Chains A and B, each alone.
Chain A
Amino acid sequence: MTSLIQPGEAEALLQAAINGELPDERGRFGPFGGRYVPETLVPAFERLEAGVREHLHDPQFQAEYQRELREWVGRPTALTHAPRLSERWGADVWLKREDLAHTGAHKINNAIGQALLAKRLGVERVIAETGAGQHGVASAAACARVGLPCAVYMGAVDIERQAPNVDRMRRLGAEVIAVESGDKTLRAAIDEALRKWVTDPAGIYYLLGSAVGAHPYPYLVRELQSVIGRESREQMIEQAGGLPDAAFACVGGGSNAIGLFYPLLGDDIELIGVEAGGTGSGLGQNAATLATGTPGVLQGSYTMILQDGDGQVQETHSISAGLDYSGVGPEHALLQATGRVRYVAASDGDALAALEELCETEGILTALETSHAYVAAREWAKENPGKRLLIGNSGRGDKDMPTLTKFPVKVRGHASA
């Protein structure tokens, strides 16, 4: 992997990342990223890029965005000390509570930002893709908020296993379109949304949900999610008395992780991204793209992907639909290659156990995606006793009840027993 970056280049690239110089003009994070899209979509991407350049850092746009984050999303989200978990782990554990944001996950930070941008660009309608349904729900809500019609592409398999979120999207006014092509999950939904965008690139805004895909999406989504890391930084100093020794986030496409990590890159903090280890290390048994993948081009970006020797992208497995993706954001590929962030995998079983432990110790039902971060944090705490940890609690687990119901609750000595 590191062979993609010349010796000595890693430090300069990392410094460029810290200084906010990446992506470069071609949408590259070192060797990763870029824009591999059909010619039919080139004008649409150029229009989007120009729109991002014009509006994203415009003071008026930012004022509007910040007001929506404050008054509608409910930011800043809390930083919660976890005393009972800390005692168990022998560490000082802090949780950044994105589960408390409107619609229940960090996804809304990006969705409302892009919906405001879509409005400014004067499009007629918005399309989005979704896997677990969290980004679909966030997009439906954000589009209702700004007054734009929204259609959400969702794999037929995911529609089946995420029925409550499908109903939420529809109630929020979105049209949910079942994707019957490909693997009928998130990857197919992205392909289908791109196919739809091609038919009317000027009238449609494609509201992509993660820090993946062709430039400028990885940049745009990072900018909108970085509020997580900026708030965490301030809150840690204020509430915990200093920055953490290590920070953890789960990684599927990687939007919550880049949002947490990006503002912390220049600090002396160990950063650890946790992918879905699924049921094993074989191809198809997990979604641990950075831990087990190889570089290639998927859905517009040169990044780490799960593929076979012929360059065919492989299906993934994870207990959490939100991490079930064969690619990953290109900036994570760079952060891995430079050694700044370490990426590890947590298994389905360990994630379930972590979810249960957090319920028991802190009264927080976290998302199955987020549970993966706790697995790695716990292991790190064991090896580094007495240290201060920050965990990105990216979403709440209410949506996972249909899955969780299949696993019996461990008896914990209830008061009535």
Chain B
Amino acid sequence: MTAVLEIENLSVTFPNGTAAVRGVSLTVAKGEMHCLVGESGCGKSVTALAVMNLLARNADRRANRLRLAGRDITGLSEREIGKLRGASMAMIFQEPMTSLNPAYTIGSQMTEVYRRHKAAGRREAVDRAATLLDRVGITAPGLRLGQFPHQLSGGLRQRVMIAMALMCGPDLLIADEPTTALDVTVQAQILRLLASLQKDLGLATLLITHDLGIVARVAQKVSVMYAGEVVEQASVAELFARPRHPYTRGLLECVPVPGKVARGSALGSIPGMVPTISAGFQGCGFAGRCAQRRPDCGGAIPDQLLGAGHRVRCVLPQDAPSGNIAA
């Protein structure tokens, strides 16, 4: 398994002092779907935009390591990173209704990215676009290429976005809440499509979501983010079977499971809101909402490795065999 995306100790700070991402590390392998899960405002999208280098100009991005398909991309100029964006790494967004330019046809927007990166002719680009529209399950691709975004439904537009992301055969696909704005039935179709693309094309996919149901369905690996940090990381089976971090447990209790939750009993919820963390913050960001808070939650938080790639950032002692990695 070769790592397509390697992030080590990524931090993003905005000029107003908000530390939106604090020391995030994660790896996405070829053919793997890695889910980044957490509440709104926990830094998931900022992490994704930081990888794409699409952050606002005044954001401060630092990382020990940021590699795409083995190539270091931390120090690349805007021009050089522009050559990778759309070519080796592609991204799709939450709002399919507004993510396509209303003034240009589907075909024009799809071929444009291919011709930019591949120095291909018009015909070749159009053929490729039609093939991909067909691949993402759009019937009558020839007709669709000549249509404008407003003539398509939300689900179709998201399929177009996916097909457009695949135009140059990227190694990495970042999908930022791609199904949040869609109907439930369409949501399932889009997820199935993403899963099949990841398998068939060996695509490394970083899927950002707040929905644990989606994680359970499509992910191989999960990183749970809270207040800019990855608080727990594990394979999907491990995480659902043995959640360690109090936040992860809280999240799981918020998901209704038919048969397990008695009708009429209250569904779990986590009191409070995600805090805004300033640069230089020490301790656990979740402490304020945690039921198992201890006095040492305000100090350095250890990153405990529980074996089999399961790691958790918490001061609570873990029963499993653990190697202690100082934070």
A interacts with B: no
